């Protein structure tokens, strides 16, 4: 299908709690010649005025798409062509049409947001696919505190809510529509995860993608909480502990 007539309504959406590896995965995927993933542009957020978000993300994020122009040039094109209030679907049609080669797999990565909106997204895009990144909540919490200076309660709520949403809503999707990437398993078995992911996406395992993927998922990041917050389960509360057990952590 020609890129200019493509409706881009069967996206790959990458999501999960904050600090579960969504950025690493989106960055690696963007190195694949048949994949085009945008970075937290909220292109599939129903009703969102996406222009401001897109301009901010494109200007302040690494190049995670294939435009045939610089980020600065793309931002100038968007500001000249669109006004505030332009619907996200119009903007994404334009953005994906800029690809020098129409991507086989296309989409957006946004932690948490796409989890919470699965019921609405499923109705709007019944052919969508979703990758949910999953990681030990204890490591996520200490990572959020270190990286973003989150207060403890906010970090705990971030992970707990995210896993509750995924537990509640993934049953709305067909099994072939979603893929779970466990940080711990992936760090220890990168090539296995990579092969499974390529098979699920129906794309070739290219050298560029393999090299980019292998650079992420550091095994030394596993269990960081043991040094930085050994009593985290005691302080995190019942809901956090319940989700830890539900996802096989905290035993």
Residues 139-165: tens digit of each pLDDT? 999 999 999 999 999 999 999 999 999
Query: Is the Cβ–Cβ distance between 1 and 104 less than 8 Å?
Result: no
Burial of 113 (0-12, 13-18, 19+ CB in 10 A): middle
Distance of alpha carbon 158 from alpha carbon 22, whole angstroms: 14
The bridge status of strand 105-109 relative to strand 12-16 is parallel
For helices 71-81 and 50-60, give the axis angle rounded to 10 degrees: 160
Distance of alpha carbon 40 from alpha carbon 22, whole angstroms: 10
Question: Can you list the residues of the chain whose pLDDT is less than 70?
Answer: 1-6, 60-65, 251
**H or E element at residue 129:** strand 129-134
Domains, the chain: 12-136+174-218 (3.40.50.300)
Residues 74-94: tens digit of each pLDDT? 899 999 999 988 888 889 989
């Amino acid at each position: 299908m020609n890129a200019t007539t493509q409706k881009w309504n069967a996206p790959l959406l990458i999501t999960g709690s904050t600090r579960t590896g969504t950025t690493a995965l989106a960055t690696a995927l963007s190195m694949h010649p048949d994949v085009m993933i945008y970075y937290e542009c909220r292109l599939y957020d129903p009703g969102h005025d996406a222009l401001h978000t897109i301009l901010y993300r494109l200007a302040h994020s690494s190049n995670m798409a294939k435009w045939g122009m610089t980020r600065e040039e793309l931002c100038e094109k968007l500001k000249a062509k669109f006004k505030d209030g332009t619907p996200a679907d119009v903007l994404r049609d334009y953005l994906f049409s800029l690809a020098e080669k129409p991507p086989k797999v296309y989409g957006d990565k946004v932690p948490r947001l796409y989890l919470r909106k699965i019921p609405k997204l499923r109705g709007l895009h019944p052919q969508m696919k979703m990758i949910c990144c999953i990681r030990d909540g204890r490591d996520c919490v200490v990572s959020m505190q270190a990286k973003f200076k989150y207060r403890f309660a906010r970090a705990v709520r971030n992970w707990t809510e995210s896993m509750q949403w995924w537990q509640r809503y993934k049953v709305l999707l067909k099994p072939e529509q979603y893929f779970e990437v466990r940080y711990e398993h992936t760090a220890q078995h990168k090539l296995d995860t990579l092969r499974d992911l390529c098979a699920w996406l129906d794309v070739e395992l290219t050298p560029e993608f393999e090299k980019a993927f292998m650079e992420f998922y550091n095994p030394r990041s596993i269990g960081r909480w043991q040094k930085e917050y050994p009593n985290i389960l005691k302080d995190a509360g019942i809901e956090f502990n319940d989700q830890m057990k539900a996802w096989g952590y905290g035993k």
